[in-house]
Amino acid sequence: MSAAERETLLEVEGLVTRYPVARGVVGAVARRPKETVHAVEGVSFTIAPGEMVALVGESGCGKTTTAQTVVRMVESESGVIRFRGREITRLSARSLRPLRREIQMIYQDPYESLDPRFTVRDTIEEPLLVHRIARGKQEREAKVREALERAGLTPPDLFIDRFPHELSGGQRQRVAIAASLVLDPKLLVADEPVSMLDVSVRAGILSLLDGLRKDGMGILMITHDLSTAAHFADRIAVMYLGRIVEEGPAREVVRNPQHPYTRALITVVPKRDPNEQTTPQILTGETPNPIHVPSGCRFHPRCPIAEDSCSRIDPSLQRPRDAATPDHRAACIVTAPGPSADEVGPGGHGSV
């Protein structure tokens, strides 16, 4: 069953988010041109209930901004965000409030995201009080305990009265997840949920998210770690400089990558088996800064297979010639030449 046939939970279309660059007083007086960080430039994807989509990319590629825009923490410049069929792109803070229950965010650092003066109970109870959900202390207590159990902190009695400093990193992240689960959300947005944790406990947190997904939760996971995405996500979207350059079933994207950027990334990820290391195809230099985005295909200055026209044509996501599944797409005129590839990118945002 493809994502399109299922009910869609989240639908993002042509999302554009830009930040102005502070010029400072000197810059303004000197009339330096106003500059813009093109953080997200025309990103589209969907998440179905019970589906985990991983947004993968290097720092500065726009994956976190995409997540923040989706949960309306950051305002988009254009594009459409639909949640359970309803457009939420421009909803006021007031009309957004009931939706905040249904879309919850999990942050990277459980050492920072928990209030050190709050017990586990206080932390998990807080969202119930804010959203005025449970009536009475007893009902709240029951919900807190249920959330603890769903987050794998069992028996709840062992954890409910503890303070964050009495918990390990993995347990803290479970408390943060429990505080999201207590609201019974439909969509979880997890921004690098395990990168601060020790390797030995990461799998536990990821399996917890996997279990929630199996129970019907939609999950958007932001990660820089392709191996984690390959193991736990249903689909992977690879971002480069504000764009999704490749998207498809997780297995297909890592085993049959079609965009030259993804292909290079796959070769440089160290493998567990010392005898199975591939020769890293190291791209020179670093990702250009998102203020001055290259013309045409934004990857062309670093691309090993770029052709002349790549500096002019901004490719849209197309089905690659060598794709094995119909829902695998890449933005590359060489590996995925499309009928509609023209000199303007998806959503009509030329960057020349």
What are the residues binding other proteins (CB under 8 A)? 58-59, 168, 170, 198-207, 224-228, 230-232, 254-255, 264-266, 268-277, 280, 282-283, 286-287
Amino acid letter for position 232: F
Rank residues 30 and 199 by Cβ distance to other proteins and give the closer one. Answer: 199
Rank residues 138 and 275 by Cβ distance to other proteins and give the closer one. Answer: 275
Rank residues 255 and 321 by Cβ distance to other proteins and give the closer one. Answer: 255
Least Å distance between CB 263 and other proteins? 12
Q: Dig out the tokens for 229 from the structure.
A: 């995405």
CA distance 42 to 311: 18
Least Å distance between CB 257 and other proteins? 11
CB atoms within 10 A of CB 271: 10
Least Å distance between CB 186 and other proteins? 26
Instruction: Report the length, in residues, of the chain.
Output: 352
Least Å distance between CB 67 and other proteins? 18
Rank residues 172 and 186 by Cβ distance to other proteins and give the closer one. Answer: 172
CB < 8 Å & 24+ apart, contacts of 109-115: 109/196, 110/164, 110/169, 110/172, 110/173, 110/175, 110/176, 110/196, 110/197, 111/164, 111/169, 111/172, 111/196, 113/176, 114/164, 114/172, 114/175, 114/176, 115/164
What is 250-272 written as a DSSP string? HHHHHHS--SHHHHHHHHHSPPS
What one-character DSSP code corresponds to residue 158? Answer: G
Least Å distance between CB 284 and other proteins? 8
Least Å distance between CB 181 and other proteins? 19
Rank residues 95 and 227 by Cβ distance to other proteins and give the closer one. Answer: 227
Asked whether the beta carbons of 185 and 101 are under 8 A apart, the reply is: yes
**Strand bridging mode 52-56 / 218-223:** parallel
Rank residues 53 and 226 by Cβ distance to other proteins and give the closer one. Answer: 226
